[in-house]
Amino acid sequence: MMRAGIGIDVHQFVDNRKLIVGGVEIPHHKGLKGHSDADVLLHAISDALLGAAALGDIGKHFPDTSPEFKDIDSQILLRHVGKLIDTEGYRIVNIDSMLLMERPKIAPYITDMRRNIAACLDIDTSLVSVKATTNEKLGYIGREEGAAAHAICMIETREC
């Protein structure tokens, strides 16, 4: 049986934070604010996978009130989500994602992001797609106040 999932995450740009997206540290004069490393892309992908399996969302599994997740590398969270999906008897069919960020350009880093995501989930990189778009200077993304990520995925029940 095939199941689809969707994930969306938003984080605010602030000073004195690293910009980490898809497990890659990207040189930039601002970073994203969050309880964890604020990896907006991995959060959206984690929510898509949790949603496909109807397992709730990342806030339920990794509350931002828990010291356990303070400044955590979100690749650890994604790896945990992958294990939850596997335990539920699902296999990941594919993941597609969009990063909505005015600057910096992330195209040079997409290959590494895809590799990180595939490694966290123990799947082939060919099943992971990462894309990016600007907001054409419109809204909070266009004003570089924040960034968002949207992700969708398909999972399927593993035949016994």
**Binding residues vs ligand SUD (CB under 6 A):** 9, 34-36, 38, 43, 57-60, 62-64, 69
- E strands, 61-142, in order: 90-100, 128-133
User: Which residue lies nearer to ligand SUD by CB, 9 or 102?
Assistant: 9
**d(C-alpha 22, C-alpha 114), whole Å:** 7
In whole angstroms, the minimum distance from the beta carbon of 64 to ligand SUD comes to 4
CB of 141 to ligand SUD, least distance (A): 17
Instruction: Check whether 59 is labelled as a binding-site residue.
Output: yes
Nearest one of 95, 96, 110 to 26, comparing CA atoms = 110
Residue 31 or 34 with smaller CB distance to ligand SUD: 34
Closest distance to ligand SUD from the beta carbon of 77 (Å): 7
Name which of 81 and 154 has its Cβ closer to ligand SUD.
81
| Nearer Cβ to ligand SUD (49/127) | 49
Report which residue's Cβ sits closest to ligand SUD: 59
- The annotation status of 58 as a binding-site residue, yes or no, is yes
Residue position matching structure tokens 């049986």: 1
Q: Please give the Cα distance from 155 to 93 (Å, whole number).
A: 5
Cα Rg of the chain, angstroms: 15
For residue 13, give both structure tokens: 């740009």
Q: What does the angle CA 130 – CA 82 – CA 13 come to, to the nearest 5 degrees? A: 50
Is 11 annotated as contributing to ligand binding?
yes
Task: Determine how many CB atoms are found less than 10 A away from the CB of residue 150.
Answer: 21
Binding residues: 9-11, 35-36, 43, 57-59, 133-136, 143
Binding residues for a divalent metal cation: 9, 11, 43
